[in-house]
Each structure stands twice: as structure tokens, then as C-alpha cells.
Amino acid sequence: METEMTRIAFQEPSKNGTPLMPITPMQSPIPSSPGTQASELSKKELQMKTMREIKVEVEKVKGRLQDRLMKRLSAVECKAEEK
């Protein structure tokens, strides 16, 4: 069974001038449109929301650590008073 192999380097461009390789959005030379700006804004909003959530979680962790440290300090002080 034979398979026909065509080299891409020798392909001729299409008659309507479209490129052989598709251009991905990252390669596109078209400037950003209002839709892109809106998506960038929503990315920024999502980042801000995530940062707020992280800050809340950090504060919770700080509070728990502070409680644990205060309990340990209290326990050490109680033992010191017993002696």
C-alpha cells in the first residue's frame, strides 16, 4: 500500500491569498477590539476578587495562629505561676 506524501514547503499559496498556516489569535496583527478590552476588564475584576478572597483567608489564618499562640502563652504562664 503506497501513501502519497506532499511536502508543505512546495505548496503554492491559495488563489484568494489566504495563508497556508492559520493565524492564531496570539499572532493576529489586528489591534484589540472593545470585546477584548471587556475581557481584559473581566480578567482584572477576577484577579481583584481572587486577591480579596486570599486576603480574607490570610486574615483567618492569622487569627487562628494568634489564638493558638495566646493559648500556648497562657499555658506557659500558668505553669510558671505554679512553680
Assign 19 to helix, strand or coil.
coil
pLDDT in tens, 44-75: 999 999 999 999 999 999 999 999 999 999 99
This prediction has a pTM of: 0.46
**C-alpha dist (Å) from residue 57 to 18, 26, 43, 65:** 52, 35, 21, 12
